[in-house]
């Protein structure tokens, strides 16, 4: 399992613009600007190392990425609207978590460095999101329900 200190060192080296905003023994949060095209997005990345006895899934252990500014636009009439490939945040409904990979395929593990996986995936997600705003079609792949199911794609907050 990758430690919080290892995650922080890797982020500082690869993404120096992402600053630690919260940290304790088992968790860390960063904020930084990502600009896959020309429009910068302030994102927040949260990661928590699960406790040994916690009974959680990989989906629950994954890093969570939210776009803080500008807020993601909702378009109910667009393909895969209102916002494609996100998880609802119970604490901040206007700032969903980005769906960056398929947990059942084990594309991310607690041994991976966020700087080498999650941030690149967030940049890619933002690229396809910006294209979706223009074309009204999601071209980023993945699985998605055409209309949100109230119980689908929900992550509990940490």
pLDDT in tens, the chain (158 residues): 889 999 999 999 999 999 999 999 999 999 999 999 889 999 999 999 877 655 665 556 789 999 999 999 999 999 888 999 999 888 888 899 999 987 777 788 888 999 999 999 999 999 999 999 999 999 998 875 544 444 445 454 33
Q: Is the dihedral of CA 68, 46, 92, 82 positive or negative?
A: positive
What are the domain boundaries of the chain? 4-155
Euclidean distance between CA atoms 24 and 37, whole angstroms: 33
Query: Would you state the pLDDT for residue 124?
Result: 96
Q: What is the pTM of this model?
A: 0.85
């Amino acid at each position: 399992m990758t430690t919080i200190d290892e995650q922080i060192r890797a982020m500082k080296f690869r993404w120096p613009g992402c600053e630690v905003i919260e940290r304790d023994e088992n968790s860390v949060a960063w904020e930084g600007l990502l600009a896959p095209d020309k429009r910068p997005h302030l994102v927040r990345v949260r990661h928590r190392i699960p406790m040994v006895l916690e009974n959680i899934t990989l989906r629950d252990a994954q890093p969570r990425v939210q776009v803080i500014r500008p807020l993601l636009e909702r378009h109910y009439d667009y393909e895969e609207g209102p916002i494609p490939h996100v998880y609802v945040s119970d604490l901040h409904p206007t700032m969903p978590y980005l769906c960056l990979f398929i947990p059942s395929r084990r594309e991310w593990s607690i041994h991976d460095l966020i700087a080498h996986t999650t941030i690149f995936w967030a940049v890619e997600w933002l690229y396809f999101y910006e294209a979706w705003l223009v074309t009204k079609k999601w071209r980023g792949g993945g699985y998605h329900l055409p209309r949100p199911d109230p119980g689908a794609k929900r992550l509990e907050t940490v």
